[in-house]
Chain A
Amino acid sequence: MLEIGRLRVFHGVIEAVHGIDLCVREGECVALLGPNGAGKTSTLSAITGAARATGTIRLAGRDLSGLAIEDRCRLGIAIAPEGRRVFANLTVRENLVMGGAIRRDRRALAAEIDSWFQRFPVLGERRDQPAGTLSGGEQQMLAIARALLARPRILLLDEPSLGLAPQIVGRIFRIIEELKAQGTTILLVEQNAAAAIAVSDSVHVLSNGVVTRQGPAAAFGDGSGLMDELTGVHG
């Protein structure tokens, strides 16, 4: 579904990612783990078109290079970004409408928004309140729902568990499991290695902008062998 080759990502003149390869097959969940500053968010930004990058990014066989952010979204890339970035001044419902803004089937969209309200009753109860008043966990659910309402081919999740209480983290990972069970293709950026490995098919470990380890999730056990890489201790 998503194939990345020799990807380099730049912020101005700084190169944050130094030529990584990565592949996410249809229906798969791939975890991208790494310490702070490893280049995880930069990699996702390169995929969405928000950061300048070289190398190849192909979605369902189609080369994305040179396409604007919005065109990539229309081809099937949606993101629940780092920091959630819900539209704080829009209501919960309006945030979801924005998520599905590129869709033509307005009626199906409205029904789908309602089904998200059933799935997350907290969002349903507060549908007409500004999204800025939601808690962190609720905002994360909103960000995920907003991304999925675009009916993407692949869902990018950037540290969905960041800064959340343990039981909310569990809730978020259960949602990811459910999405995967429904066949959603996911690229999951995380620092919570154990939980991410548990829901993923394969794992890439990124450190200082290069992939240091990769393989099927089973080969990583419970993630305890990754401690060095993930705490940013280098040699």
Chain B
Amino acid sequence: MDYLIQQSLNALSFGAEYALIALGLAIVFSIMRLVNFAHGEVIAFGGYSLAVTGTLLTGNPWILMACVVLACMAVAVVLERVAFRTVRGADLTTGLLTAFGVSIILQNLFLLLGSPRPVAATQFIFLDRTLTLGPVRVSSLQIYETAVTVAAIVALLLFLRRTTLGMALRAAALDFEMVRLCGLRANRVVAGAFAISGFLAGLACIFIMARRGSAQPHMGFDPVLSAFVACVIGGFGSLPGAVLGGFLLGIAEVAVLILLPQSAGGLAHAVVFALVALILVWRPDGILSPAREKGDKL
């Protein structure tokens, strides 16, 4: 029983992390048709900013969490301004190559200014404790991760429904030019999308740092790759799809780990990707592929 609860929580927390990151990819993709592979470096930037502010500024973890989230939002918006704005409206491949370029440049900057080895930043590891709830022992971090992700999704939903910028983001996913014809500034809408993706990356970064306790140049790359797969499963550009894909991927990874015999552990990834391939055979555009009536970029 407690094994089942532990593994469910495992699946949920994996899924939550993927969902957070996948949402950030999806919200940018939905309005810009840009697959932002530099998203992982936004997360890594958050990790380094924790290491820096943690030593220079304060040890208070709550303030540091705000710093990490703000740092991720800021760097996402700055990346849009200096790198992605120039290729706005270009085709998918150009955007993808630009994002890879930005990703590589940032990783090398982290190498140069930081270190190839992990830079310790342990301010958040206090989040990761073992809780004993009756007979069940669970990780507190996993509970926080799941709860915060659910809260962030609800907040995002409210933002997208209630605010003008939120409505503009939803509308722009369908017809960006029409949004501009309504007088909304394209640059603001795009910056808003990047700020939100940075915010979600910041939350993910907090949990990743709580688990790792150190920052490293490529720390964001693997999670973003998984989140990318989650987006593909759910339907690229669909926000509900990103959430669904994230959690499905989390569940699949944990299920495969449980069901596969120990000796076949190395095959876990292969099995997960085979499952993904099956889903794509069934639904080539992902489970909840978004409407694409007007695919204009701008």
Chain A residue contacts of B167, Cβ below 8 A? 90, 94, 97-98, 101
Chain B residue contacts of A146, Cβ below 8 A? 182
Residue among A69, A94, A99 with most chain B CB within 10 A = A69
Q: Looking at the complex, which of B139-147, B169-177, B247-255 is the stretch in contact with chain A?
A: B169-177
> Is A144 part of the contact surface with B, judged by Cβ < 8 Å?
no
Docked complex Cα distance between A148 and B36 (Å): 37
Contact yes or no, A87 B170, CB < 8 A: yes
> Is B180 part of the contact surface with A, judged by Cβ < 8 Å?
yes
> Is B113 part of the contact surface with A, judged by Cβ < 8 Å?
no
> Is A85 part of the contact surface with B, judged by Cβ < 8 Å?
yes
From residue B91, how far is it (CB to closest CB) to chain A in Å? Answer: 15
From residue B269, how far is it (CB to closest CB) to chain A in Å? Answer: 35
With A85-B175, A97-B164: A70-B180 Cβ-Cβ less than 8 Å = yes
Contact yes or no, A89 B174, CB < 8 A: yes
Our pick among A70, A87, A89 for the contact of B183 (Cβ within 8 Å) is A70
Chain B residue contacts of A74, Cβ below 8 A? 183
With A87-B174, A94-B167: A81-B181 Cβ-Cβ less than 8 Å = yes
Contact yes or no, B291 A89, CB < 8 A: yes
From residue A26, how far is it (CB to closest CB) to chain B in Å? Answer: 21
Chain A residue contacts of B177, Cβ below 8 A? 50, 69
Fill in one digit per residue for A181-217: 1 if any B CB lies within 8 Å of its CB, else 0. Answer: 0000000000000000000000000000000000000
Interface size class of A (residues with CB under 8 A): 20 to 34
> Is B222 part of the contact surface with A, judged by Cβ < 8 Å?
no
Chain A residue contacts of B171, Cβ below 8 A? 87, 89-90, 94, 98
Chain A residue contacts of B175, Cβ below 8 A? 85, 87
Interface size class of B (residues with CB under 8 A): 20 to 34
Chain B residue contacts of A69, Cβ below 8 A? 177, 180-181, 186
> Is B81 part of the contact surface with A, judged by Cβ < 8 Å?
no
Chain B residue contacts of A73, Cβ below 8 A? 180-183
Chain B residue contacts of A102, Cβ below 8 A? 182-184
User: Main secondary structure on chain B at its contact with chain A?
Assistant: helix
Contact yes or no, B178 A150, CB < 8 A: no
Docked complex Cα distance between A150 and B183 (Å): 8
Contact yes or no, B170 A70, CB < 8 A: no
Docked complex Cα distance between A87 and B160 (Å): 14
Docked complex Cα distance between A89 and B291 (Å): 9
Docked complex Cα distance between A74 and B183 (Å): 6
- Within B244-263, the residues touching A (CB, 8 Å) are none
> Is A68 part of the contact surface with B, judged by Cβ < 8 Å?
yes
Docked complex Cα distance between A88 and B290 (Å): 12
Fill in one digit per residue for A33-50: 1 if any B CB lies within 8 Å of its CB, else 0. Answer: 000000000000000101
> Is A79 part of the contact surface with B, judged by Cβ < 8 Å?
yes
Contact yes or no, B178 A87, CB < 8 A: yes
Chain B residue contacts of A79, Cβ below 8 A? 181
Docked complex Cα distance between A81 and B171 (Å): 15
From residue A38, how far is it (CB to closest CB) to chain B in Å? Answer: 22
Docked complex Cα distance between A73 and B174 (Å): 19
With A85-B294, A87-B170, A90-B170: A101-B181 Cβ-Cβ less than 8 Å = no
Docked complex Cα distance between A50 and B293 (Å): 18
Contact yes or no, B293 A88, CB < 8 A: yes
Chain A residue contacts of B173, Cβ below 8 A? 89
Chain B residue contacts of A48, Cβ below 8 A? 181
Instruction: Write the chain A residue with the least CB distance to B189.
Output: A70
Contact yes or no, A99 B178, CB < 8 A: no
- Within B274-298, the residues touching A (CB, 8 Å) are 291, 293-294
- Within B165-219, the residues touching A (CB, 8 Å) are 167-168, 170-171, 173-175, 177-186
From residue B106, how far is it (CB to closest CB) to chain A in Å? Answer: 30
Instruction: Write the chain A residue with the least CB distance to B180.
Output: A69
Docked complex Cα distance between A48 and B180 (Å): 10
Contact yes or no, A98 B291, CB < 8 A: no
Contact yes or no, B174 A68, CB < 8 A: no
Q: Could you jot down 24 A-B contacts, CB within 8 Å?
A: A50-B177, A68-B186, A69-B180, A69-B181, A69-B186, A70-B181, A73-B181, A73-B183, A74-B183, A78-B181, A87-B174, A88-B291, A89-B170, A89-B173, A90-B170, A94-B167, A94-B171, A97-B164, A97-B167, A98-B167, A98-B171, A98-B179, A98-B182, A101-B164
Q: Which 8 residue pairs of A and B lie closest in terms of their CB atoms, listed nearest first?
A: A73-B183, A102-B183, A69-B180, A87-B171, A85-B178, A70-B180, A98-B182, A70-B185
Please report A residues at the B interface, Cβ cutoff 8 Å: 48, 50, 68-70, 73-74, 78-79, 81, 85, 87-90, 94, 97-99, 101-102, 146, 150
20 further A-B contacts with Cβ under 8 Å, apart from A68-B185, A101-B182, A102-B184, are A68-B180, A70-B183, A70-B184, A70-B185, A70-B186, A73-B180, A73-B183, A74-B183, A78-B181, A87-B171, A87-B174, A87-B178, A88-B174, A89-B291, A94-B167, A94-B171, A97-B167, A98-B179, A98-B182, A102-B183
